[in-house]
Amino acid sequence: MTKQLRVGIIGAGGIAGLHAEAYSQIPDAARVTAVSDIDLPAAEAMSGKLGATPYEDYHAMLAVEVDAVDAVDAVDICLPHHLHADAVVAAARAGKHILCEKPLCTTPDEAAVVRRAVAEAGVTLMCAHNQLFLPAVAAAKELIAAGELGDIYEVRTNDAFRTGMTAESAGWRARTATAGGGELIDTGYHPSYLLLHLAGGQPTQVTAMLANHRLDFLEAEDSAQVLVRFDNGVIGNIATSWAYQPPSDTERFSVFGSKGSLRGGGEWLRLETIDGGSRARRFPAVDTFSAEIAHFVRCVGTGERPPHTEIEGSVVLEVIMAAYRSADSGEVVGLSGLGV
Ligand SMILES: NC(=O)c1ccc[n+]([C@@H]2O[C@H](COP(=O)([O-])OP(=O)(O)OC[C@H]3O[C@@H](n4cnc5c(N)ncnc54)[C@H](O)[C@@H]3O)[C@@H](O)[C@H]2O)c1
């Protein structure tokens, strides 16, 4: 039997509740032993449910002796975006493995510091890119790898919904200094990592247009369209928004190749080939947070590389920052890679 992974949650807000639930589904493999939040009652409420120790300051949680009852082997970072980099670096320096909610951090400079800290500490960092665990995404990736679509020409990803967020409920999400941008670096992060995952190559050029159609309490955009050129010839297109509700049959992703095309939602996939063939698949619903967290725990236990580490997280961030620069300047922005 493998050792139970002891996890400390940092930031006991909305998404942390789903993460905590996911750990409780794999009690043999993992247990939340500590929860930290500057809002101590929030840390106490969550730790009370989990039988964990609450902390107001995550540095104190990281400093606990390894054989203490509330020691942690790994942290799960569920903080507002501008606090991710410092928490990752502190956790890495304390020798803890890291699951980090998206985005990895908010600037390429922070991302470089994060990559250095993780490499120096030799810990595992997995980006919490939960949509990679949608069954249709995994099946699409397999079909592409098996050559069923031939050469891949274009990939499109969508993630849009009419949010109920208000000026009162937006909190840190309303400000660029705390969110790192607007919708694109938040919900738009999902179709961005999905695009990179399905396109396969490295991004080389980005151009974007942003808009704030409806949520005027946000400092930044509520909608974005981004075009990305990859070094393998693929052109990608991201459409993402909090302003509108797309038709219910809108696909989450589509891939177009020399031998055929596919489109998929979370639980369905349709493939059509140029010789007239077609295949449709439906998948059982999957809780992507549970799947992601079980995978993180397995990676730490086995040493397997997570699908997206600080490297892929940095590339996604580079694309998003390039999209912001392009939208500002009206120019196509070139990417020169991470130099790693
Ligand atoms: N994968 C997804 O689908 C998904 C969905 C929602 C949120 N998220 C991500 O999860 C993260 C958190 O989002 P949320 O919606 O849970 O936010 P939230 O505002 O509900 O929770 C953030 C928590 O962090 C706490 N906090 C703030 N500063 C702190 C500090 N210095 N130390 C400890 N705690 C501190 C706050 O008190 C709050 O409880 C973000 O990165 C967000 O993008 C991901």
Residue 155's alpha-carbon distances to 5, 21, 269, 280, 327, in angstroms, are 37, 33, 14, 19, 21
- Edge-to-edge strand list for the sheet holding 152-160: 278-282, 268-273, 260-264, 253-257, 152-160, 235-241, 223-230, 203-211, 333-334
Amino acid 137: pLDDT: 97
Lowest-confidence region among 43-47, 134-138, 299-303, 334-338: 334-338
Region 116-128 average pLDDT: 98
Task: Give yes or no for residue 27 having a pLDDT over 80.
Answer: yes
Task: Give yes or no for residue 2 having a pLDDT over 60.
Answer: no
Ligand 1 pocket test, pick from 38, 55, 78 with the greatest ligand atom count within 8 Å of Cβ, gives 78
Amino acid 340: pLDDT: 60
Query: What CATH class does 5-128 carry?
Result: alpha beta
Domain ranges of the chain: 5-128, 131-289+318-334
Region 6-34 average pLDDT: 98
Task: Give yes or no for residue 1 having a pLDDT over 70.
Answer: no
- Longest alpha-carbon distance in the chain: 63
Architecture of domain 131-289+318-334: 2-Layer Sandwich (3.30)
Q: What is the CA radius of gyration of the chain?
A: 20
Residue with CA nearest ligand 1 atom 30:
38
Percent of the chain with pLDDT over 70: 99
Task: Give yes or no for residue 3 having a pLDDT over 90.
Answer: no
Q: Which of 232, 179, 170, 181 is nearest to 208 (CA)?
A: 181
Region 47-61 average pLDDT: 98
- pLDDT tens-digit map of 130-150: 999 999 999 999 999 999 999
Region 227-233 average pLDDT: 98
Please report, in angstroms and rounded to a whole number, the separation of the first and last CA atoms in the chain: 36
Question: Ligand 1: which atom is nearest the Cα of residue 173?
Answer: 19
Pocket of ligand 1 (CB under 6 A): 10-16, 36-39, 42, 58, 78-81, 83, 101-102, 128, 130, 171, 186
Amino acid 10: pLDDT: 99
- pLDDT tens-digit map of 267-292: 999 999 999 999 999 999 999 999 99
Residue with CA nearest ligand 1 atom 1:
130
3 state DSSP class of 160? strand
pTM (2 decimals)? 0.97
Task: Give yes or no for residue 260 having a pLDDT over 90.
Answer: yes
Ligand 1 centre to CA of 56 (Å) is 15
Question: Ligand 1: which atom is nearest the Cα of residue 103?
Answer: 41
- Band of the pLDDT at 336, cuts 50, 70, 90? confident
